[in-house]
Copies of this chain bind each other. A is one copy, B any other.
Amino acid sequence: MTRGEARRPPQEFDRVLSSMCTTPHPAAREAAQAFLATNPGDPETYPAVAERERDAVALLGEIVGLSSPHGYIAAGGTEANLQAVRAARNRADADAVNVVAPASAHFSFQKAADVLGVELRLAPTDGDHRADVAAVADLVDGDTAVVVGVAGTTEYGRVDPIPALADIAAGVDANLHVDAAWGGFVLPFTDHDWSFADAPVNTMAIDPHKMGQAPVPAGGFLARDPETLDALAIETPYLESDTQPTLGGTRSGAGVAGALASLRALWPDGYREQYERTQGNAEYLAAELAARGYDVVDPELPLVAADMPDAEFQALREEGWRISRTASDALRVVCMPHVTREMLAAFLDDVDALA
């Protein structure tokens, strides 16, 4: 029996280097706390949070280059990716559809494939961890419902060639989905082609609760056309609204209100400053690790990967550092907003102490 025992306090972020979550913006935390008991899934009962959701989607539209965005605040990137595949599957003519994604795609596409009963075809990445366009072109066929491009991969922070992937998708009459769950709040300040304005993208995942500094759970699912949401709609007999396109039923009002508050506080100048700071931190860490002889992957976005022997990795975890590894066992440090230059210097001190 566990009742009455002392429990550990919530995670402090001063040694968290592995997470794509972060400390929320103060305004977002305050808004989330005020809306903990509301449900945007029932807009006729909770109109104030439903209004905030419309405003949050409009602001997300500005970020991703859509003047009339269709979408909603999802539970996270997994839901947004799954819903993109589901909408494409539901609109496809074929009985047995497939999804073509780079091998660098997040494991939520494995989950979506199992849940939705579709075939997931993974194309190898090129020597710089981006989708290999020729390999993607080889895998698509008439049963391909959606091609996935990643704008900020989970393991290496790489941006796939979105316009080229869009051409391939168009060639087989498939949707193009962009997973910008992590990258979407930094990419507007780079030269990458990734958005609805840069290519004929159909759907996108972009998570306020990652680089957007919103509290969990706040993902974003956005679509260019209203037909995408229509393809997801289920009738809702006992609610005073008619249909529901979301994967969840009751949803987090805290996530919606928190997302809107962080967007209002930070878009665009706050996010621009955050990008410059976090990118600078990633370049600092990469240079320091390289100077110590580690093989480092160039940080195109604020994420550093570097080869590190397992014994060193484990010793750093024992020092309390929350670090993680890629599938090929490279150390992976995500330079989220809470990761300061001082934290990285302290981490490097502990790396040096291993020698």
Tell me the A residues contacting B by CB distance below 8 Å. Answer: 2-3, 7-11, 13, 16, 18-24, 29, 32-39, 42, 44-49, 51-52, 55, 58-59, 75-79, 86, 90, 106-108, 110-111, 114-117, 154-155, 207, 209, 215-217, 219, 234-240, 244, 247-255, 257-258, 264, 322, 324-327, 332
Note all chain B residues with C-beta closer than 8 A to A7: 48, 51-52, 55
Bound-state Cα–Cα, A45 to B336, Å: 14
Note all chain B residues with C-beta closer than 8 A to A111: 234, 244, 247, 249
Whether B114 contacts A90 by the Cβ 8 Å rule is yes
Note all chain B residues with C-beta closer than 8 A to A207: 250
Give the distance to chain B from A298, nearest Cβ to Cβ, in Å: 19
Bound-state Cα–Cα, A237 to B207, Å: 20
Bound-state Cα–Cα, A24 to B110, Å: 35
Known: A3-B264, A110-B235, A240-B324; 16 extra A-B contacts, CB below 8 A, are: A7-B52, A9-B34, A10-B49, A10-B253, A11-B45, A29-B36, A36-B254, A39-B216, A75-B217, A76-B251, A78-B250, A107-B244, A115-B247, A155-B237, A237-B327, A238-B332
Query: Could you list some 14 contacts between A and B, CB below 8 A?
Result: A7-B48, A10-B38, A11-B48, A18-B240, A36-B254, A79-B247, A86-B114, A107-B234, A115-B115, A116-B116, A217-B252, A238-B324, A238-B332, A247-B247
Whether B45 contacts A237 by the Cβ 8 Å rule is no
Give the distance to chain B from A336, nearest Cβ to Cβ, in Å: 11
Q: Out of B215, B249, B252, which one reaches A78, CB within 8 Å? A: B249
